[in-house]
Structure 1
Amino acid sequence: MENYVDFINKAWKDFISTGNVNPKVRSEIGDSWIRCMNYGVDPYDGKGHVKHSNINELINKNNELISVARPVMESIYSMVRGSGFALFLTDKDGYIVDVIGDNDIMKRIEELNFLKGELWSENVVGTNAIGTALYLGKPVQTIGAEHYGVNQHSWTCSASPIYDEDDNLIGCINMSGNYYNAHSHTLGIVTAAAQSIQKQMALAISYKLLNVTFDSISEGMIVINEYMKVKRINGRALKILNISLEEAMNMNINEVLNGVDFQKLLQEKNKSLNNIEWDFSINNDIIKCVINVLPLNKNGKSSGMVITFTEVKIVHKLVNKFVGYKAQYEFKDIMTTSKEMANMIAFAKKASKSDCNILIQGESGTGKELISQSIHNYSDRARGPFVAVNCASIPSELVESELFGYEKGAFTGASKEGHPGKFELADGGTIFLDEIGELPLDIQSKLLRVLDNGKIVRVGGTYEKQLNVRVIGATNRILKNEIRRKNFREDLYYRLSVMEIKTIPLRERKDDIDVLVNDFVQRLNIKNKNKIITVSKEYIDKLKKYDWDGNIRELKNVVERDYYLSEDEIMNIDINNLDYNNMTQTLNEEPLNQEEIKIVPLDVLEENAIRDAIKKCDGNLQLTSKLLSIGRATLYRKIKKYHIDVSK
């Protein structure tokens, strides 16, 4: 070492005086001397004299590097403490950001301005392990006079650059001490330290990315160990459960998710729960969620579980989006020139902006659902679901579970996970109860309770769930008459009819027939690209003479039938194409005198109407129910009531 020190001292002096590098000087040192001379660095200085303008900013900028490198530096220092060495960490430019060393060497460090915030690049202090390693991008050791500045000739330094996982230079670690303590193993130590920092940085970034991912997913996530202790929980889970992190870390998962056999899941390999509706019991509150439970395995042994969950109401919104629980029509879709209709629409718009329940009464075919959808789309609930239910089409024994849902095991044949009702699916939006007059009386009383407090109880359930649902009811019956007949609850009627809308039959707005028919035909022309039909005035006039008991629905059916009966590609629909026997019979009938009217019991009229309709439809009960404008479930009940043999 002494021979080398003498050699390098002489080689340095010769270079400073002549500018020539001794060929025995290592090329990385000789080349650096030449660069420093070209930079204009003073060889008789070698102290740091460029300080960062904002040291706090420098430290904050490199905080991640410092936090990872500090434990590595402390580990190395614990091995060399008392041996006259110090450890330095710099950023990618050569600014010192951290220092650890013995007290005696720290005094010498101050003399050289080898301190935090000082720049130790080659062009500032000359050849040194830090600046040269950063320049060359590889580990470098400098001993004695290998340093360009004379004030560093009593030092030995070993430095290694630090790279990130994308091979970008991010800093440098250096170990410095007295030159007579120089040893090749110090370079190996800092090289290994740099590699360790690089790996720790990659792990830190991966862990940070994992944390960001963990907290950014839209589902709640809880990680528990094999002892059922919560190890991790993401922000979404805390929000869904409405608890603090401290509460979450101390909660008993068996109590929170009562009924899930976690021990059994741990014991059974590859066993998991998928998309199960379950309740979280938190602080006396019930939170309905859809959960997934996936066991964690380490070395073939279960080491815990990951529980992911989503609020049921979020799932319902997705269901509504994809299964079509959405209102399609708006008020602009209502075709009319009638002043009475314009007044009705204006009132419906005002009703839309309230949050009151609405009752729509009117004859079949007058567009009650169209109006209900328009109300929903005009209201503040337009972004929420629109769930339509035909009350007459649901068998009486299933009405309650269909409307309000049921819990798992509520009855024989019930889904083991339970099932949400239409009211739950409509949460945040509107539920349209068509043919509400067909609801059984016991369901009417339960509906009244829902309207009163906004809460539902599932069949087989034990707690009430608060909902935010607007109810629109519709019926072709006169409910006040049904109240007198004890078929409809008076209190439910008044609770529903806060805003009451009466649709106008087509016979009272015949001027709209022109607009409606042309619209129907135009839509049919668009649908049938190779067929173009125009409508004659005679055709419209003839239609206006009919009373249209089936209203717009009947009109549309007649127009569609006539459209497809037309054989020419371009023609006027001619009244000769039509069979108007039924129409003319209706038009030619003279009203009976009051004395001639024979009072027939309603049951007899109803039975005869059903028998006639079944006969006309050749026993097709689906067509029969449509012809009678009643639900199939209602039709079946009437057939049973009157002992009608449909096979004849």
Structure 2
Amino acid sequence: MENYIRFIEGAWKDFTDKGYLNPSVRPEIAESWKRCRNYGVDHRSGKGNKIYKVPVEIKLEENAELMAVARPIMQDVYNTVAGSGFAMILADKDGYVLDTFGDKEIMKKVEELNFVKGMLWTEEAVGTNAIGTALYLDKPIQTIGAEHYGWHQHSWTCSAAPIHDEDGNIIGCINMSGNYYSAHSHTLGIVTSAAQYIQKQLALTLSYKLLNVTFDSVSEGMIVLDEFLNIKRVNGRACTILRMSLEEALKINIKETLIDVDLKKILNTPAKTYNNIECDFYINESSIKCIINAVPMNANNKNSGVVITFREAEYVHKLVNKVVGYKANYTFKDFITENHKMKSIIELAKKASTSDCSIIIEGESGTGKEVIAQSIHNYSSRSLGAFVAVNCASIPRELVESELFGYEKGAFTGANKEGHPGKFELAHGGTIFLDEIGELPLDIQTKLLRVLDNHTITRVGGTSQKQLDVRVIGATNRILKEEIKNKSFREDLFYRLNVINIKTIPLRDRKEDIETLVHNFVDKLNMKNNSVDKIVDKSYIENLKGYHWPGNVRELRNVVERDYYLSSNLIKTPHSIDENMLIKSQCNEEKISITPLQELENESIRNAISCCQGNVVMAAKMLNISRATIYRKIKKYALLNNDIY
């Protein structure tokens, strides 16, 4: 080593004094000396230049992650060589010193050389040195004695290795410096190993941070359990759903919180995942209904835990609503009318939209009851929520309760093993439209009244109540007050629902709208069949106005569509209107007197009883009907309450 020290001192002197470069100088050093001369570096110096110094706080902030990982590793390396006269130095990718520590004596020399935090230590700033040259060459290097271009560093030996990120970019440099007589090739090996270890730790830290970011940014709640079903990790979304802090969540006894889920079974069947389990988290004496997925973890053929992900059932229901189409498509703009009464109804419906009160819509079939209900929903503050329409007349009696209010698992034979939400749950936050509400069985009417009163539902087979935020709109083609008299509809439910009553108008009472509606239907059909441009003859409209329209707007739309496809470019003749209805309309126009059959029947029975001087049996024989029939007719027409003979 002494021979090499003398050789390199002579070679350095020849180069700096005479410009002669000894060919025996190793290439990395020789090329560095040339660069330093081109940079104009003063070979008589080699100390850190204060003109290059930057505030160390800025650099520490820029390299906080590198510092956090490298410092403990450097400390471990130093502990193995402490007392041997070495200092540890960390620099950033640009060559600025970030950290220095070491033996007391060597640290004095560090201060003398301005080898301090915030100082630039590149070749251009201080000449050939291990940090600057390693960064330039992007490889580990050791510099000994006069290999340093600056004279003040000739008593040093330095070993440095660049530090890279996962993409191979230089992010820093680690260096060990000491007296040149302590130089050993093993020092470079130690530094190189330390740099590689820092790189691996940085990669692990990055992966861990990415995992944490992913863990906390997923839209589902996530709980990680160990092999003893203790909670090890909980993400932020889980805390939000469970309405508790992270500290509280980590203390949960999961077996007492998820009592409906067999976690031990899940843990012990690592080959199986459990998806879409509907269950309750029991937290602080209340329950939070969620849909969970559970995945067992297995490492080295050992059950190592379970990962549970979950969403609020309400969120899943909203997602289901979007998929299955629980939404309102119509708005008040879709109403086509010139009728002033219909316009008044629309204004009433708009006013009703601004509140959350229950509504009853009464009217004949085909008069647009659901269109009004959808428009109210879309005009209200609930427009972003679900619009769930239920035809009460189409549900089998034995399934009405479970269809409306849902059921728990095992509630009855054939029930879904995970339970099932009812239409009211699916409508949470939105509107439920109960069409043909007059068809509901009386026992269901009682339960519906309770739902309207306390805004909660209990599933079939369940015990816990679920709070609901649902607006109820009912519709019927019956006259509910008559149904109340007949004891087929509860009076208290009627008044609970009938906060606002909207009565639709049949098409026969707004015939001025027929022409506008027909043109609208034809325009839409032309758009649907873009190669066709059919028009409507005036006589066609007049024919339609002469019809009674028992099916109202729905029937009109169907008639126009059929005539559209059966006609040429000019729609002139109604092909599919019931001839009997046209005859009836014509009779009305010609003012032909027609007596309803009920009136004739009433009068015939009255005359027969009078003729028989009140003998009902004899009157029945005269009319050729049974005794039971005549008594039923007498009751129907209340004939015995009148003086008929």
Structure 1 residue 66, shift from structure 2 partner? 0.9
For 1:34-183, list aligned pairs within 5 A.
34-50=34-50, 52-183=53-184
Does the Cα contact within 8 Å between 2:270 and 2:297 map onto a contact in 1? no
Letter of the 2:37 counterpart: M
CA displacement, residues 201-247 of structure 1 (integer Å, 9 cap, x when unaligned):
11111111111111111111111110111111111111111111111
CA displacement, residues 18-68 of structure 1 (integer Å, 9 cap, x when unaligned):
122111111111221121122121222111123543211210110111111
For 1:484-523, list aligned pairs within 5 A.
484-523=485-524
Structure 1 residue 570, shift from structure 2 partner? 2.2
Structure 1 residue 109, shift from structure 2 partner? 1.1
Letter of the 1:5 counterpart: I
1-structure distance, mates of 2:38, 2:401: 92
Identical counterparts, % of pairs: 65
CA displacement, residues 608-644 of structure 1 (integer Å, 9 cap, x when unaligned):
xxxxxxxxxxxxxxxxxxxxxxxxxxxxxxxxxxxxx
CA displacement, residues 276-295 of structure 1 (integer Å, 9 cap, x when unaligned):
11111112221111111111
Letter of the 1:507 counterpart: R
Structure 1 residue 439, shift from structure 2 partner? 0.9
Equivalent residue for 1:203?
204
Letter of the 1:122 counterpart: E
Equivalent residue for 1:392?
393
TM-score (norm 1): 0.89
2-structure distance, mates of 1:531, 1:86: 90
Structure 1 residue 299, shift from structure 2 partner? 0.7
Structure 1 residue 115, shift from structure 2 partner? 1.2
For 1:531-550, list aligned pairs within 5 A.
532-550=533-551
1-structure distance, mates of 2:268, 2:70: 42
CA displacement, residues 367-394 of structure 1 (integer Å, 9 cap, x when unaligned):
1011111111111111111110001111
Equivalent residue for 1:28?
28
Question: If you compute each CA radius of gyration, which structure gives the higher value, 1 or 2?
Answer: 2
Does the Cα contact within 8 Å between 1:128 and 1:147 map onto a contact in 2? yes
Equivalent residue for 2:342?
341
1-structure distance, mates of 2:450, 2:332: 31
| SS of residue matched to 1:223 | strand
Equivalent residue for 2:424?
423
Equivalent residue for 2:593?
590
Structure 1 residue 83, shift from structure 2 partner? 0.7
Moved more, 476-485 or 219-228: 476-485
Q: How has the CA–CA distance of structure 1 residues 238 and 363 changed in structure 2, closer, same or farther, with 3 Å as cutoff?
A: same
1-structure distance, mates of 2:489, 2:45: 104
Letter of the 2:66 counterpart: L
Does the Cα contact within 8 Å between 2:160 and 2:175 map onto a contact in 1? yes
Equivalent residue for 1:631?
none
2-structure distance, mates of 1:329, 1:11: 92
Q: How has the CA–CA distance of structure 1 residues 318 and 175 changed in structure 2, closer, same or farther, with 3 Å as cutoff?
A: same
Equivalent residue for 2:579?
580
Equivalent residue for 1:12?
12
- How well do the aligned residues superpose, as a CA RMSD in angstroms? 1.9
| SS of residue matched to 1:221 | strand
| SS of residue matched to 1:553 | helix
Does the Cα contact within 8 Å between 1:562 and 1:578 map onto a contact in 2? no
Equivalent residue for 2:2?
2
Structure 1 residue 495, shift from structure 2 partner? 1.6
Equivalent residue for 2:625?
none
Letter of the 1:186 counterpart: T
Equivalent residue for 1:259?
260
1-structure distance, mates of 2:322, 2:64: 46
CA displacement, residues 86-135 of structure 1 (integer Å, 9 cap, x when unaligned):
11110001111112212222222111111111111111111110011111
Equivalent residue for 1:617?
none
Structure 1 residue 343, shift from structure 2 partner? 1.1
Q: How has the CA–CA distance of structure 1 residues 595 and 196 changed in structure 2, closer, same or farther, with 3 Å as cutoff?
A: closer
Letter of the 1:25 counterpart: V
CA displacement, residues 582-622 of structure 1 (integer Å, 9 cap, x when unaligned):
3213542635389945459xxxxxxxxxxxxxxxxxxxxxx
| SS of residue matched to 2:414 | coil
| SS of residue matched to 1:511 | helix
Equivalent residue for 2:448?
447
| SS of residue matched to 1:433 | strand
Q: How has the CA–CA distance of structure 1 residues 236 and 133 changed in structure 2, closer, same or farther, with 3 Å as cutoff?
A: same
Equivalent residue for 1:561?
562
Structure 1 segments of 4 or more deviating over 4 A?
528-532, 575-579
Q: How has the CA–CA distance of structure 1 residues 596 and 502 changed in structure 2, closer, same or farther, with 3 Å as cutoff?
A: closer
Structure 1 residue 366, shift from structure 2 partner? 0.5
1-structure distance, mates of 2:69, 2:98: 13
For 1:240-639, list aligned pairs within 5 A.
240-528=241-529, 532-566=533-567, 569-574=568-573, 580-588=579-587, 590-592=593-595, 596-599=599-602
| SS of residue matched to 1:44 | coil
Letter of the 2:473 counterpart: I
2-structure distance, mates of 1:580, 1:375: 37
Q: How has the CA–CA distance of structure 1 residues 161 and 241 changed in structure 2, closer, same or farther, with 3 Å as cutoff?
A: same
Letter of the 1:9 counterpart: E
Q: How has the CA–CA distance of structure 1 residues 593 and 211 changed in structure 2, closer, same or farther, with 3 Å as cutoff?
A: closer
2-structure distance, mates of 1:392, 1:168: 71
Letter of the 1:10 counterpart: G
Q: How has the CA–CA distance of structure 1 residues 83 and 411 changed in structure 2, closer, same or farther, with 3 Å as cutoff?
A: same
Letter of the 2:232 counterpart: K
Q: How has the CA–CA distance of structure 1 residues 576 and 261 changed in structure 2, closer, same or farther, with 3 Å as cutoff?
A: closer
2-structure distance, mates of 1:464, 1:529: 53
1-structure distance, mates of 2:334, 2:502: 18
Does the Cα contact within 8 Å between 1:360 and 1:501 map onto a contact in 2? yes
1-structure distance, mates of 2:357, 2:388: 17
Structure 1 residue 319, shift from structure 2 partner? 0.7
Letter of the 1:303 counterpart: S
| SS of residue matched to 1:173 | strand
Aligned pairs, number: 598
| SS of residue matched to 2:511 | coil
Does the Cα contact within 8 Å between 2:53 and 2:119 map onto a contact in 1? yes
2-structure distance, mates of 1:120, 1:406: 74
Letter of the 2:56 counterpart: I
Q: How has the CA–CA distance of structure 1 residues 48 and 593 changed in structure 2, closer, same or farther, with 3 Å as cutoff?
A: closer
Letter of the 1:283 counterpart: N
2-structure distance, mates of 1:315, 1:444: 28
2-structure distance, mates of 1:577, 1:394: 31
Q: How has the CA–CA distance of structure 1 residues 36 and 423 changed in structure 2, closer, same or farther, with 3 Å as cutoff?
A: same
Letter of the 2:144 counterpart: I
Q: How has the CA–CA distance of structure 1 residues 41 and 489 changed in structure 2, closer, same or farther, with 3 Å as cutoff?
A: same
2-structure distance, mates of 1:167, 1:215: 28
CA displacement, residues 560-585 of structure 1 (integer Å, 9 cap, x when unaligned):
3333443xx22342258866333213
2-structure distance, mates of 1:355, 1:259: 35
Specify every segment of 5 or more residues in structure 2 that has no aligned partner in the other structure, as ranges: 604-645
Structure 1 residue 345, shift from structure 2 partner? 0.7
Letter of the 1:584 counterpart: I
Letter of the 2:2 counterpart: E
TM-score (norm 2): 0.90
Q: How has the CA–CA distance of structure 1 residues 190 and 599 changed in structure 2, closer, same or farther, with 3 Å as cutoff?
A: farther
Does the Cα contact within 8 Å between 1:538 and 1:575 map onto a contact in 2? no
Equivalent residue for 2:224?
223
1-structure distance, mates of 2:38, 2:520: 89
Moved more, 421-430 or 446-455: 446-455
